[in-house]
Structure 1
């Protein structure tokens, strides 16, 4: 599934990026929650932002419009083609913008994600006596649905929280595309066709796993997982005291409920 997604984004980077230019409505509340936490930032001290699976850096561009404070931004993704059009002119002169290439899912499956994130933080922001400087705000938007298996999704949340400074904020979105009748019908149809064309059996997918197409491009599929409330509850219950949820809400899409958001305060 991870190889399928890597190929999908590499082959469709330009057209996909063109449809992913504006921010999501849910980000406004996420940013408000982060501001309430303070996140260690003042007009003199930049806010450190970790954007996991940053894609074409549209969250960074959203922050550039929504924030007046200086930011040290670290974006991590395994598809540099998605961010090929980003330039320093997109961001305020006082910002520091850094991106690193990392196959997050492969790192998850090999058990090396936490170490890889720690190394990336140290390269971007240096270290203290306690280790790499952590993020004041960490986010993973539009990505959890590409992570196969519950265990790997849980490990991603733990690694993201470990990269977040104590007392600060981590925001995550969970795509709920099967809540839309139109998207659900497409997902069922493309999954049936994709399994057949890729030579896979239905049992090769887990519960609530689907294969989605892209703009009627022949043979172009990506693995996506639909999140139900029960699974999000289960993930949060297994964070082992690493964080406390401070907000849960739905936003985005025509229904205003296409994504479920969780805002976590690092313990």
Structure 2
């Protein structure tokens, strides 16, 4: 995928979250069922060092408070300043920082985190489907490995939206929907059609159906199938210690991979 297209898709997603942050945060004020399934795998140690990539409104902090027996220190990273503000106001005792992972990659040709620390638990929920190109998805996993302490655990969830046809088909853009949409102007339609025509296999553009911005904001998403994920894990020098499906009415909305370094 060309850098210009990667940049455009990243900007599309940044604009999306900037415009719907309050509605999005309101719909993300609860823990996912899948999180309870991973508790038994978490490293058993005091002052667990946690890195949360794409932390959003910081809701995983509340989950840790309620479910972790030991103390922990937490660093949350996100590229949405509005969601970070919500997180910082809610969890003042924890650390949150702005981090644009895609822009970082485009600038440095790799993903380099600002922190020099390493972590016992690295989580990333609701991010992987926003990473354009297999190269960035592989680099992402390798970057997580580089920040992992010995015997540490990585947990990544992949949104399985393409399997939920009845629920998400109406959200999937095609050129007919774009042209007929009365809520966006001609220039927006041209940009969306250009992006649509240059997407890779299993890439999609999805709309948003809630609040004042319904049918006016859009996001890029990639459906990561299990076979693709296993290939990325292998190429990244990681190994799967467990995988599970959970969340949503189907209990298959997210697929979780629990990883450790080889």
Q: Does the aligned pair in 1 maintain the 2:171–2:208 contact within 8 Å?
A: no
Number of aligned pairs?
Answer: 240
**1:155 corresponding residue in structure 2:** 139
Cα deviation, residue 70, structure 1: 1.3
Instruction: With the length of structure 1 as denominator, give the TM-score of the two structures.
Output: 0.83
The match for 2:255 among 222, 242, 260 is 260
User: Within the alignment, does 1:214 sit opposite 2:202 as a pair?
Assistant: no
Q: Deviations over 1:148-202 (max 9, x none)?
A: 00110110011011111121100001111011122342243x3445755532244
Change (3 A) 1:193 1:98: farther
Cα deviation, residue 90, structure 1: 4.6
The match for 2:34 among 22, 26, 44 is 26
User: Within the alignment, does 1:234 sit opposite 2:231 as a pair?
Assistant: yes
Change (3 A) 1:194 1:137: farther
Q: Deviations over 1:239-265 (max 9, x none)?
A: 1x3x22100111111111111111012
CA distance in 1, matches of 2:32, 2:217: 25
**C-alpha root-mean-square deviation of aligned residues, in Å?**
2.0
Q: Does the aligned pair in 1 maintain the 2:122–2:153 contact within 8 Å?
A: yes
**1:85 corresponding residue in structure 2:** 86
Cα deviation, residue 59, structure 1: 1.2
Q: Which runs of no fewer than 5 residues in structure 1 stay unpaired?
A: 123-132
Secondary structure at the aligned position of 1:84 is classed as helix
Q: Which runs of no fewer than 5 residues in structure 2 stay unpaired?
A: 1-8, 180-187
Change (3 A) 1:148 1:67: same
